[in-house]
A and B are shown apart, each in its own frame.
Chain A
Amino acid sequence: MSSLSFLNPGFLWALPAAAIPILIHFLSKRRLPEVRFPTVMFLRALEPREIRRLKLRELLLLILRTLAILLLVCAFARPSVEPKGAITRAAAAVAVVVDDSESMGAMDEQGRPRIDGARARALAIVDAARPGDEVAITTTTGPDASLSNHVVDRLRLERTVRQIAVTWYPGRMEAALERGRRFLGRTALRSREIYVVGDFQATNVTRGAREKLAQISRSGVRVHLLPLVSSRVPNHAIEDLDPELRPGPQGKGLELRARLVNHAGSPSERLAIRARRGDVLIGGGDVALRADEARWASLPIEWRAGAATGNGRDPGAKAAVVVESDVDALAADDRWYAVLGAPRRLRVLRIAESRAGAPASRFTALALDPLQDGSSGYAVENGTPASLLGINLARCDVLLLEDIASLSGDAEARLRGFLREGGGLVVALGPHADPDYYGHKLFPGVIDLALEGTERAAEGQPFEARARIPGHPILEGLSLDVGSPLTQSKLTGLLRGRVTSAKALAVVSTTGGLPLVVAGPQVAVFLSSLSDDWGDLPYSGAFVPLVRGLVDYAARATSPGAGDRALVGRPPSARLDNAPAGAVVVRGPESYRAQAQVVSEGSGFRAVADAPAPAPGFYVFDAGTRETATVAVNPDPIESDLQPISIDSLRSGAAEAPRTLLTLGSLKTHLRDTRQGRELWLLFLMGSAMFLAAELALGSARTLSP
């Protein structure tokens, strides 16, 4: 049953004002002037006919005036009516999750920063709160501290909302939802709601976030989703910069390689890329990208132009370089900081074993370091399963297990320890690999991949490998379209595998759907042979890029402490060749200053700042008065894909389908209906104006009539 209530009942004291017209009416009746007139015979003749009409009109006017005042007073008292069945009377606990990740700095469909829309929605929710409500606000990049339950303090909440700004961090929707869930779980109030405001970027709304939403919904909390965008916004990004300068075409000049991505369903226009060293432009070029293409682009540079001193042909000299492009939807990813002249050199420990007196194949070693001098960027050390126990794994970045049957318990324990410390692992299976060992012993806890035995191709019908995720880092060196074959070589055997969770991803699979390359955190698995046991893959053009892609991926997925490449939100760290003389201080943009802790790492040392980097830029490590290292910190490129999820996809698993409120207007209407009841002040005001207009019209008609 709907009921009428007033949000400003204090104004109802003015209701007696409605009696004013009645009082005036009767007072004016009592004080009528008397006019002595020659004769009333003409009036007498008219009066009986007019009197009824006049009295009726007078009554109507009186009613209209009274109603006009009555409705006006009521309008000021903000009448509201509760819709049938709404639980609006009871106080409610409301959790508001606001996405403040980097992508919220992009423009929404109205051309305003998404964060503005998010703040406006959060403010509307806060504004709708009533005394007795409990409201908590959290952000997707905020700290993991629990949200406190407190009775609504609107001013404080509004201040909190206004202080929400776009951060450089990727959103952690699952963690934010968990904070909201815990907050709502602690409240004693029965009516509980959660509002999620953001761009619902696919990379933020992980499987965990989806499960968390379903869990919240099942616990009786009403879930409201407030997406700020409904479709993908084209955006290009600079995702990485190769710190090593390479010779230009035909050995002339130098080139800088930048990894560019076009997050759009259509080709990009030519992007103007510029490389700066300090304030000096040192090179650049125009780059065009296909739809959804991610590739390394070579940019010619004039190294000498930016060098204050030294040999222009000496790429070994370290230099802080900024590469930037034209600003588009998301400005944060149109600039990349890098320290050049410090070529990356991945140290790979390759574990293989000889069989039946034949030495182990060296295809992968040759693919990584053909000249065996480390000039390719890979330093390969060979070992056997047994030598795993004796080698200092801290000196390695990536461990490559190549067609190893199984590992001993001790070797496996060392390998797991290596992974825990941030090392990368590439497992290439093969005809000698024991599926039971890998499927049931090694892989659990390492990668979510089950093995179900060996699969051999029928005669004359080799397996055909096709890329399932063309832009995946493992396939960076291969120019592949969606569904295009990885190689023309013939694969005759593989191990039948099955990905068991979303943490593992089949990057390449056969035409029949069997996974061939599976990637997980820090781990890449090739389910066939990287030698010529099962086909002629090592002789194909795809072999070298594939092997390097596997190693690079495993190395990149390692912890940031393993290299100098750092992301915003994590402590900057730098590798030092020599022990610093004294305390190391780190300074960076936005007045960043932090102490660094120095630990031994392999043959050198690593200095790790004790505070996360707050913004992209160069961070300088000072030991005493001397600069010992400079590292570049960049935002996580994961935010660059401005692709929202389909909101409908969040309905699965929820007890009650989440309510989607697309616009600020629909949110306000919803809040009004459910929290405050449907406000009727405008209706009352219009009614008052209507009655007043009717009164004026009736009055005018009266005086204008002949």
Chain B
Amino acid sequence: MAQTSQRLLDPHIVSKLARLDLRARLVVDGFLTGLHKSPYHGFSVEFAEHRQYMPGDPLRHLDWKVLAKSDRKYLKQYEEETNLRATLLIDTSASMSYSSHGLSKLDYARQLAASLAYLMLRQKDAVGMFAFSSGRGELIPPRSTPSHLRQLLVLLEHLQAIGGTDFASSLHALAERVKQRGLIIILSDLLDDPERIAGAIHHFRHRKHEVLVFHVLDPQEVAFQFEREATYIDLESGERITTRPQELRGDYRSRVLAWMERIREFCVEKQADYVSVTTDLPYDRALLEYLSKRARLL
């Protein structure tokens, strides 16, 4: 069972499903099933109704008063109390289209966003979405209705990685538009000046938003495991550089790791949560990070 749930979190397996809503359900259900076995004990909820006890149900949710009164075993069902407003910010710049193993960064971000949205709506949280590229973007304000998921998924389905990233401008603009404070979840490769990124995060923090950054990268971007000499073309600027990867690999890695560390430090400095994920990692890590963040917020 645990193995099956783990497989359901594998980006490559999930990506084989055609419908995004199914994929999101698959990921979240798989994640929750795995969570059930884990020491993580979930989140606080409001009581909703009773349900008859079935063998195998946890005894901690047994309603002892009912048992004492009626000698019948009922479980207490809870409904989550929600006042969380989350906005998913998805980078759709051209660099997000890169894929070294079949799953692009945008695909990964799209799937992760769908899963998060599904999970949040299951928890009765309000979810909004903003896909941005080169300063433009379409904002879907946060709502918690179950039908809202469909709207979000339609937007996600139609996302395309085009154009450059003007990360800072896009976020600054959004920070001005989102008045009600909430959770800002950024899914991006953050290919911009780290200080400008820090400025944008600071803007959100200034507006009392909580910020969770998912730094989505392709494994090749970090490892640079190319063998042959080749001409490398920048997906956003079109700049071409011919080089021997084996000659530069060491220095390249050092530089990338330093750049990631710098972004992480900026995030810490701005009290934002930073999660680095590569597109070959299962989604559970990202989901866990979200739940952890939510638990801290509520």
Q: Which residues of A contact B (CB under 8 A)?
A: 28, 32-47, 50-51, 54, 702-703, 705-706
Query: Are A35 and B255 closer than 8 Å at their CB atoms?
Result: no
Residue of B nearest to A44 (CB): B241
Report which of A40, A50, A705 forms a contact with B239, defined as CB distance below 8 A: A40
Query: Are B236 and A39 closer than 8 Å at their CB atoms?
Result: yes
Complex alpha-carbon distance, A28 and B230, angstroms: 10
Query: Are B255 and A46 closer than 8 Å at their CB atoms?
Result: yes
Question: How far is the CB of B6 from the nearest CB of chain A, in Å?
Answer: 28
Query: Are A39 and B233 closer than 8 Å at their CB atoms?
Result: no
Complex A-B: 15 CB contacts under 8 Å: A32-B242, A34-B230, A34-B233, A35-B232, A37-B98, A37-B233, A38-B191, A39-B191, A39-B236, A41-B191, A50-B248, A51-B243, A54-B244, A702-B247, A705-B247
Known A43-B243, A47-B241; judge A38-B252 contact (CB<8 A).
no
A33 partner residues in chain B, CB cutoff 8 A:
228, 230-231
Residue of A nearest to B242 (CB): A32
Complex alpha-carbon distance, A705 and B250, angstroms: 8
Complex alpha-carbon distance, A702 and B234, angstroms: 26
Residue of A nearest to B95 (CB): A38
Query: Are A43 and B235 closer than 8 Å at their CB atoms?
Result: no
A41 partner residues in chain B, CB cutoff 8 A:
191, 234
Query: Are B221 and A38 closer than 8 Å at their CB atoms?
Result: yes
For residue B21, CB closer than 8 A to chain A, the reply is: no
Query: Are A42 and B259 closer than 8 Å at their CB atoms?
Result: yes
In B241-275, the 8 Å CB interface with A consists of 241-244, 246-252, 255-256, 259
Query: Are A42 and B256 closer than 8 Å at their CB atoms?
Result: yes
For residue B210, CB closer than 8 A to chain A, the reply is: no
B259 partner residues in chain A, CB cutoff 8 A:
42
Complex alpha-carbon distance, A43 and B229, angstroms: 13
Complex alpha-carbon distance, A47 and B234, angstroms: 15
Complex alpha-carbon distance, A41 and B236, angstroms: 11
Query: Are A34 and B231 closer than 8 Å at their CB atoms?
Result: yes
Known A28-B229, A50-B247, A702-B246; judge A36-B98 contact (CB<8 A).
yes
How does the 8 Å CB contact mask read for B142-182 relative to A, with 1 for contact and 0 for none? 00000000000000000000000000000000000000000
Complex alpha-carbon distance, A33 and B98, angstroms: 17
Complex alpha-carbon distance, A54 and B249, angstroms: 13
A43 partner residues in chain B, CB cutoff 8 A:
232, 241, 243, 248, 252
Complex alpha-carbon distance, A346 and B241, angstroms: 114
Complex alpha-carbon distance, A54 and B229, angstroms: 12
For residue B107, CB closer than 8 A to chain A, the reply is: no
Complex alpha-carbon distance, A41 and B191, angstroms: 9
A28, A42, A51: residue with the most chain B Cβ atoms closer than 10 Å: A42
Known A42-B259, A45-B255, A705-B250; judge A50-B243 contact (CB<8 A).
yes
For residue B189, CB closer than 8 A to chain A, the reply is: yes
A35, A39, A41, A46: residue with the most chain B Cβ atoms closer than 10 Å: A39
* Contacts A36-B232, A43-B232, A50-B247 supplied; 15 other A-B pairs, CB < 8 Å: A32-B230, A32-B242, A34-B231, A34-B240, A37-B234, A39-B235, A39-B236, A40-B240, A41-B191, A42-B256, A44-B239, A45-B255, A47-B248, A702-B247, A703-B246
Known A42-B252, A702-B246; judge A36-B233 contact (CB<8 A).
yes
A45 partner residues in chain B, CB cutoff 8 A:
255
B247 partner residues in chain A, CB cutoff 8 A:
50, 54, 702, 705
Complex alpha-carbon distance, A164 and B64, angstroms: 122
Query: Are B251 and A46 closer than 8 Å at their CB atoms?
Result: yes
Complex alpha-carbon distance, A412 and B243, angstroms: 112
Question: How far is the CB of A57 from the nearest CB of chain B, in Å?
Answer: 8
Known A32-B229, A702-B246; judge A39-B252 contact (CB<8 A).
no
B125 partner residues in chain A, CB cutoff 8 A:
none
Question: How far is the CB of B216 from the nearest CB of chain A, in Å?
Answer: 11
For residue B226, CB closer than 8 A to chain A, the reply is: yes
Complex alpha-carbon distance, A46 and B234, angstroms: 15
Question: How far is the CB of A62 from the nearest CB of chain B, in Å?
Answer: 14
For residue B284, CB closer than 8 A to chain A, the reply is: no
Query: Are A706 and B250 closer than 8 Å at their CB atoms?
Result: yes
Complex alpha-carbon distance, A50 and B229, angstroms: 14
Question: How far is the CB of B83 from the nearest CB of chain A, in Å?
Answer: 38
Query: Are B255 and A38 closer than 8 Å at their CB atoms?
Result: no
Query: Are A37 and B229 closer than 8 Å at their CB atoms?
Result: no
How does the 8 Å CB contact mask read for B32-56 relative to A, with 1 for contact and 0 for none? 0000000000000000000000000
B255 partner residues in chain A, CB cutoff 8 A:
42, 45-46
A37, A38, A44, A702: residue with the most chain B Cβ atoms closer than 10 Å: A38
Question: How far is the CB of B101 from the nearest CB of chain A, in Å?
Answer: 14
Complex alpha-carbon distance, A38 and B190, angstroms: 11
B242 partner residues in chain A, CB cutoff 8 A:
32
Query: Are B226 and A35 closer than 8 Å at their CB atoms?
Result: yes
Residue of B nearest to A33 (CB): B230
Report which of A35, A44, A46, A50 forms a contact with B233, defined as CB distance below 8 A: A35
Complex alpha-carbon distance, A42 and B96, angstroms: 17
Complex alpha-carbon distance, A28 and B231, angstroms: 12
A46 partner residues in chain B, CB cutoff 8 A:
243, 248, 251-252, 255
B251 partner residues in chain A, CB cutoff 8 A:
46, 50
Query: Are B221 and A35 closer than 8 Å at their CB atoms?
Result: no
Residue of A nearest to B226 (CB): A35
Question: How far is the CB of A54 from the nearest CB of chain B, in Å?
Answer: 6
A32, A37, A47: residue with the most chain B Cβ atoms closer than 10 Å: A37
A40 partner residues in chain B, CB cutoff 8 A:
232-234, 237, 239-241
Question: How far is the CB of B233 from the nearest CB of chain A, in Å?
Answer: 5
Complex alpha-carbon distance, A32 and B249, angstroms: 18
B191 partner residues in chain A, CB cutoff 8 A:
38-39, 41
Question: How far is the CB of A149 from the nearest CB of chain B, in Å?
Answer: 67
Residue of B nearest to A54 (CB): B247
Complex alpha-carbon distance, A476 and B222, angstroms: 105
**Top 7 A-B pairs, shortest CB-CB distance:** A706-B250, A38-B95, A38-B98, A40-B234, A33-B230, A37-B232, A35-B230
Complex alpha-carbon distance, A162 and B4, angstroms: 86
B237 partner residues in chain A, CB cutoff 8 A:
40
Query: Are B234 and A39 closer than 8 Å at their CB atoms?
Result: yes
A54 partner residues in chain B, CB cutoff 8 A:
243-244, 247
Residue of B nearest to A34 (CB): B231
Complex alpha-carbon distance, A667 and B231, angstroms: 61
B244 partner residues in chain A, CB cutoff 8 A:
54
Residue of A nearest to B247 (CB): A54
B230, B241, B246: residue with the most chain A Cβ atoms closer than 10 Å: B241
A37 partner residues in chain B, CB cutoff 8 A:
98, 221, 232-235
Complex alpha-carbon distance, A47 and B243, angstroms: 8
A35 partner residues in chain B, CB cutoff 8 A:
226, 230-233
Question: How far is the CB of A247 from the nearest CB of chain B, in Å?
Answer: 103
Residue of B nearest to A45 (CB): B255
A47 partner residues in chain B, CB cutoff 8 A:
241, 243, 248
Question: How far is the CB of A431 from the nearest CB of chain B, in Å?
Answer: 113
In B195-247, the 8 Å CB interface with A consists of 218, 221, 226, 228-237, 239-244, 246-247
Complex alpha-carbon distance, A28 and B244, angstroms: 12
A706 partner residues in chain B, CB cutoff 8 A:
249-250
Question: How far is the CB of B168 from the nearest CB of chain A, in Å?
Answer: 16
Complex alpha-carbon distance, A39 and B94, angstroms: 10
Residue of B nearest to A49 (CB): B251
Question: How far is the CB of B103 from the nearest CB of chain A, in Å?
Answer: 14
B105 partner residues in chain A, CB cutoff 8 A:
38
B228 partner residues in chain A, CB cutoff 8 A:
33
Complex alpha-carbon distance, A38 and B248, angstroms: 17
B249 partner residues in chain A, CB cutoff 8 A:
706
Complex alpha-carbon distance, A42 and B191, angstroms: 11
Question: How far is the CB of A273 from the nearest CB of chain B, in Å?
Answer: 84
Complex alpha-carbon distance, A706 and B244, angstroms: 13
A36 partner residues in chain B, CB cutoff 8 A:
98, 232-233, 235
Question: How far is the CB of A52 from the nearest CB of chain B, in Å?
Answer: 12
B233 partner residues in chain A, CB cutoff 8 A:
34-37, 40
Question: How far is the CB of B36 from the nearest CB of chain A, in Å?
Answer: 37
Query: Are A38 and B230 closer than 8 Å at their CB atoms?
Result: no
Question: How far is the CB of B133 from the nearest CB of chain A, in Å?
Answer: 14
